[in-house]
């Protein structure tokens, strides 16, 4: 996995992108933490998701989810001011043959040099890509020639 492309879509290798954060290095910005959390969702790294969640809002546990396949992350806006940050993102996923998009405006806090996910306002909508529509994964190909291949 280390030499393959990072799931966050940065274009960098996992070992040079989100991998170090998953191994304990602090993310330098809210956007870097958001990308690493997306990668953790894509890789089912619930340990990292819990560790990067702020203690005030962290759930007691988080079950692994083998049914959701995360395929694309788009960062729409990112900002940090002092010890607070915000990232507005869109994440495309597939559950079986169903497609959907999660859009969230997330809030982050920095404590003792580490950024943590605090909470966010989320919405999602189902996608129904047609055979000749662009593939929701962002490849630039038609759905029928990419993820729509049966």
pLDDT at 149: 75
Q: Does residue 150 carry a pLDDT above 70?
A: no
Q: What is the pLDDT of residues 49-84, one digit of tens each?
A: 999 999 999 999 999 899 999 999 999 999 999 999
- Using pLDDT thresholds of 50, 70 and 90, give the confidence band for residue 120: very high
CA torsion sign, 13 to 22 to 45 to 117? negative
Write the class of the CATH domain 14-145. alpha beta
**Residues 105-144, buried b or exposed e (16+ Cβ, 10 A)?**
ebbbbbeeeebbbbebeeeeeeeebeeeeebbbeeeeebe
Q: What is the pLDDT of residues 76-91, one digit of tens each?
A: 999 999 999 999 999 9
């Amino acid at each position: 996995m280390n030499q393959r492309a990072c799931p966050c879509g940065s274009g960098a290798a996992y070992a040079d992108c989100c991998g170090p954060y998953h191994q304990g290095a602090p993310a330098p910005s809210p956007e870097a933490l958001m990308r690493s959390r997306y990668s953790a969702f894509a890789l089912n790294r619930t340990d990292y998701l819990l560790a990067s969640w702020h203690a005030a809002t962290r759930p007691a546990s988080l079950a692994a989810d083998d049914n959701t396949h995360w395929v694309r992350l788009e960062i729409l806006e990112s900002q940090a001011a002092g010890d607070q940050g915000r990232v507005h993102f869109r994440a495309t996923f597939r559950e079986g043959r169903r497609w959907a998009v999660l859009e969230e405006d997330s809030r982050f806090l920095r404590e003792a040099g580490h950024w943590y996910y605090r909470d966010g306002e989320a919405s999602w909508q189902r996608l129904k890509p047609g055979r000749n529509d662009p593939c929701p994964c962002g490849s630039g190909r038609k759905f029928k020639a990419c993820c729509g291949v049966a």
